[in-house]
Structure 1
């Protein structure tokens, strides 16, 4: 079994606790479902948020979803002029039998513009 990186991002409509937690939960669930990965398969998860998101920690969504025994970390994205606003990104490290080419990265809502090549794949966009 290998450790693989699962990537995803979601653009939120607003900076509110409900939006951050709800959007992060939805993204994380879609990422795990798209790759057949369960909580027990996770090694660690890194969450980032753009500087305009300050209402909640994205990792709080994972804790609410039952990931109390998975190492989680939040960080702030670089404040690059012209960057897509209100985006939560996730890099999850998981044990899986899937080869790299079969990993599905998930980009939801407005974040689909970040990786149009990935958003068109199964599980890539709603």
Structure 2
């Protein structure tokens, strides 16, 4: 798997800062397993939140949130369950949620950030 580009890394950093400022605890970042990678795993109260971050310089290739289609959402849920299997202490008794954060703009640290909560 190719290393993430600077734009993607900067977008994930912005998303993590945003989540922390919103009261989430970041539990994991760029967690990998044979099935793929989770960008951010966070805890919001009693809810485990698995966050996919999509960063784009512009909307020339579509809105970043559009990149998370049904197939990608299914994969994110599988990855969430794989993460929970490796972290049973954190998963016990908690609700689960998959969110998507889209960041659009030339500079990820000042770009527009949109947080889509609970994509099914």
The structure whose residues are more often strand, as a share, is 2
* TM-score normalized by the length of structure 1: 0.30
Higher relative contact order (CA 8 A, sep 6+): 1
TM-score (norm 2): 0.31
